[in-house]
A = this chain, B = another copy of it.
Amino acid sequence: MLARLKDLVIGPALPTKMESQRQLNIFRGLPAFSPDALASIAYANQEIYLGLVVAGSAGLAYAWPIGLGITGLLVMVALSYFQTIHGYPMGGGSYTVARSNLGELPGLLAAAALLVDYLLNAAVSLTAGVEAIASAFPQLWPYRIAMALGLLLVLTLVNLRGLQEAGAFMAVPVYLFLGAYLPMLAYGLIRLFLEGPTPLATVAPAPVQPVTLFLILHTFSTGSTALTGVEAISNGVPAFKSPQVRNAGRTLIIMATLMAILFAGSIGLTQSLGVVARPEETILSALARRLFDDNFLYFLIQFVTLGILTVAANTSFAGFPRLVAILARDGYLPRQLSSLGDRLAFTNGIILLSGFTAALILVFAGDTHALIPLFAIGAFLAFTLSQAGMVIHWWKEAGKNWILKSFINGMGALATLTTLIVVITSKFLHGAWITVLLIPIIVATFLKISRHYKAVRRELSLRGLPPSLRPLGALRVVIPISGVHRGMVGAVNFAKTISRDITGVYVELEPGAGSKAQEEWDSLWPDIPFVIVPSPYRSIVAPLLKYLDDTDTEHNDGQLATVVLPEFVPGKWWEAILHNQTAWMLKTALLYHRREYGKERVVIDVPFHLRL
């Protein structure tokens, strides 16, 4: 019994760990993949309310039809993804589906759209979650930015430490959310039945705008963010228990049904009970307050809303680094982001995500309403490309019922494309232009990186002229001298081991310091020449580079002098910033200072470990 309880509380693993082949049943699969989708009703509802309230009660009357329209769209998209699950039982992310069916460019477009969407999902979920709590505790309202950033920090740290165990806790907020919201809606229905509807006209604020087609379309666009997250299950089919496809498909149907009930139910109740929000309050908070007044249940609703939104933000932490790793493996992002099993790769991805999300929260001052116009575009672009890809997939496969399957996905693609166009046109000036601009820039970056890696691969190829495989002649060695001390000894000994032609070079920043150092040097190494290079501009690197270039030209022996650099290694990591800055700058300069093709200057680091 206790073990089962623990199992329920600790729950199944995260999609991050899908590689480890955990086997999810429907009960565990639902919380693993649905938080993003379920939580989006929180901000979608709010957006519909904010979009219509400016037109007073006449505007708010459209909430229900718009809600129904979006629910219809949800059904179509869910059906489409139900098919994707069957078409790609190994996991069909939009990038995979679009790339394998439509080609490289549509694939990258889908990938860029998804990356942007992961960022916005994290930012919007956090700000919306904070708004839920700040609705309950108005004194927190001015601190929304700080609270959202704090929550982001917690998520970042939890994910950096590894989510293996913590991720399992995702099940708790999801079932708490369902367990609080579904009864609330039922209770609301009963109240509605007993009390009868409240006409909006008696409570709505006075209209400041007329109801226009543009207003309706705009509200539909912002409300369609309710659909974000529907695609998650189709990415994660392999994580399910066998029969995987059937279990994943059922989970999707259950999730979509729950989304429809929660979304349409809360909008319907809000409208028929005549609920209107205070200035610094979300509409869901107003609904809960209307039903429960200010008692314990109201606060519970706000906390579970924050809970599911936090978990929804967390899905970006699973998805973003994973997509980045796949893109890096395919050569579209820096290779160090690629190694899927490597802790560091995910660390980089998490830090990237966290940094960009923080920037979004800051730039948009933690305001969900300001972020939303940037949002849905990525999701609907990815939806459209993925569904269009599925049409081609069924057509190519030409299996049983392929025409029906193509038709369903085709309708899905058409519906999401239409929504995409509505979203872009109606929200363009409100911020959608940022996303419209950003996605092509990201795609261009992918292509540029890919071209670079391909060019490097060609250049590294050993085909063509055979390179010279002989050792070099006698080495000329130069030791830059920072001072005559114990740290130099190892460097000079090593130089002596590999060469008979050694020169110590001292860059003199203050007149007179050179001859003092030379005296000490001569007492230890009388047989090694000591050269003083003056530096009137107090730079160390430039005079040294010039000295090296000049002597190379002088000797003209077909090689560049080798540089032996003594380097301190302090005992404690933080002390590293107290040392070696000059050595590091010098190394970077030597590495990037290119003289002629085929001749390279070798740099030898001789560490000196401080005993401290």
Q: B-contacting residues of A (Cβ < 8 Å)?
A: 142-143, 145-146, 334-336, 339-342, 344, 362-363, 365, 449, 452-453, 455-456, 459-462, 467-472, 475, 483-487, 489-490, 492-494, 496-498, 509, 520, 524-525, 537-539, 567-570, 573, 575, 577-579, 581-582, 585, 587, 591-592, 594, 597, 600-612
Given contacts A335-B578, A525-B469, contact A604 B607 (CB under 8 A): no
Query: Given A336-B581, A459-B611, A472-B493, 10 more contacts at CB 8 Å?
Result: A334-B577, A339-B538, A453-B578, A459-B486, A469-B489, A471-B493, A471-B494, A475-B498, A490-B600, A567-B591
Residues of B contacting A335 in the complex (Cβ-Cβ under 8 angstroms): 578-579, 581
Q: In the complex, what distance in Å separates the CA atom of A609 from the CA atom of B459?
A: 10
* A489 CB contact (under 8 Å) in B334, B365, B467: B467
Bound complex: CA A373 to CA B496 (Å): 62
Contacts of A470 in B (CB 8 A): 493, 496
- Chain B residues with Cβ below 8 Å from A612 are 452, 455-456, 459
Residues of B within 8 A of A365 (CB): 142-143, 145-146
| A472:B486 contact, CB within 8 angstroms | no
Given A146-B365, A339-B538, A597:B611 Cβ within 8 A: yes
A605 touches B591 (CB 8 A): yes
Contact of A487 with B471 at beta-carbon distance under 8 Å, contacts A569-B591, A605-B591, A607-B600 already known: no
Chain B residue nearest to A577 (CB atoms) is B334
Q: Judging by beta carbons under 8 Å apart, are A462 and B524 in contact?
A: yes
24 intermolecular pairs with C-beta atoms under 8 Å apart: A142-B365, A143-B365, A335-B578, A335-B581, A336-B581, A341-B538, A362-B362, A452-B612, A460-B487, A461-B485, A462-B485, A462-B486, A462-B520, A469-B492, A470-B493, A494-B602, A497-B498, A567-B591, A569-B592, A591-B607, A594-B609, A602-B607, A603-B604, A603-B607
Which chain B positions have C-beta within 8 A of A567? 591
User: A472 vs B497: C-alpha distance in the bound complex, in angstroms?
Assistant: 6
Docked Cα-Cα span, A567 to B588, in Å, equals 12
A341 touches B537 (CB 8 A): yes
A493 & B468 in contact (Cβ 8 Å cutoff): yes
Question: Which residues of B have CB within 8 Å of A453?
Answer: 578
A143 vs B145: C-alpha distance when bound (angstroms): 13
A28 to chain B, nearest CB (A): 27
* Closest 9 pairs (CB-CB, A-B): A336-B581, A460-B485, A471-B496, A341-B538, A471-B497, A498-B498, A467-B489, A472-B497, A603-B605
